[in-house]
Amino acid sequence: MRHSDEYLEVRHSRARGTSRLYQQTWLPDTAVRAVVLLVHGLGEHSSRYTHVARHLTDCGFAVYALDHYGHGKSDGHAGFVERFSVYLDGVAALLQKIRDERAELPVFLLGHSMGGLIGTAFLIDHQDAFRAAVLSGPAIESDQAPPPIVMAIVRLLSALLPTVPLIQLDASGVSRDKNVVTNYINDPLVHHGKLSARLLAEMSAAMQNTLARAGDIELPIIVMHGEDDRLTSPAGSDALIEAIGSADKTLKTYPGLYHEIFNEPEQDAVLADMSRWLETHL
């Protein structure tokens, strides 16, 4: 597996200014058969997917990923985003890089957690750029989301005090593997603080809008979710797969698995399920 990295200059479409986003690429040692655009989750960063990239490159896929605004090695304020569209701007820049370098190859989207939400929202207006999509534990609903009356207060705070910190993710819900949780907690590139009112409000609105428009998605898609996920609700994946307009759609659930299905003790089987599905859509 070969690796390279750089920074992308991204101009925001609905927010102020530009950002430098850290981007990395993993290439197989053999000929590249297709490209996977990987979109990571909330609070983490793309380097946590090196083992996923290794599995995919062994199958002949090139993997392109970036650290979202406010995440990992990228510009921005951790736990905050001015507009959810900032994340979509990053994916658009990454897709353009793929088109510039691998225009002749089919492209698949792989999004985990908030990356699943970002990816789904991006697909609604850009699905023609992709052959198919894989969503892992997409953040369509969250068991950690505040109740509606509290969300009304969050939206008010988002307008008046957008950077005020409100809630923190429960690291123990990441995986049943204690080593994964320990590494997550000790990772200096993971955001361990609270999430801002603006980020929570923007994510909540994106969840509702994305689910409402999911019927426009018609490309092949598989949604994979751990049944014991406490961070994003499996019910959200049920609702998403029901709403998606594609004739080729699959919901694959894993009994007993937590949120990061690619970091569970059963990860080899999960990764194999994913790559087999990608193979059938090459």
Q: Which domains does the chain have, with CATH numbers?
A: 2-280 (3.40.50.1820)
| Residues 6+ positions from 217 with CB-CB distance below 8 Å | 120, 123, 124, 127, 244, 245, 246
Catalytic residues, by residue number, are: 113, 229, 259
pTM for this entry: 0.96
- Single-letter residue type at 246: S
In this structure, are residues 44 and 71 in contact, taking their beta carbons and an 8 Å threshold?
Answer: yes
Per-residue pLDDT of the chain (282 residues; tens, 9 = 90+): 999 999 999 999 999 999 999 999 999 999 999 999 999 999 999 999 999 999 999 999 999 999 999 999 999 999 999 999 999 999 999 999 999 999 999 999 999 999 999 999 999 999 999 999 999 999 998 766 667 777 888 888 888 888 999 999 999 999 999 999 999 999 999 999 999 999 999 999 999 999 999 999 999 999 999 999 999 999 999 999 999 999 999 999 999 999 999 999 999 999 999 999 999 999
Neighbours of 118 (CB within 10 A): 28
Encoded tokens for 64: 């392109």
| Residues 6+ positions from 258 with CB-CB distance below 8 Å | 173, 174, 175, 176, 226, 228, 229, 230, 231, 264
CA 114 to chain centre: 5
The helix (run of H) or strand (run of E) holding residue 11 is: strand 2-11
In this structure, are residues 279 and 59 in contact, taking their beta carbons and an 8 Å threshold?
Answer: yes
| Pick from 158, 272, 270: nearest CA to 206 | 158
Convert 28-51 into a string of H (helix), E (strand) and C (coil): CCCCCCEEEEEECCCCCCHHHHHH
Provide the residue count of the chain: 282
Which stretches of the chain are DSSP H helices? 50-58, 85-102, 114-126, 148-160, 178-186, 197-213, 234-243, 267-280
Cα 60-58-99 angle, rounded to 5 deg: 35
Find residue 35's DSSP bridge partners: 62, 107
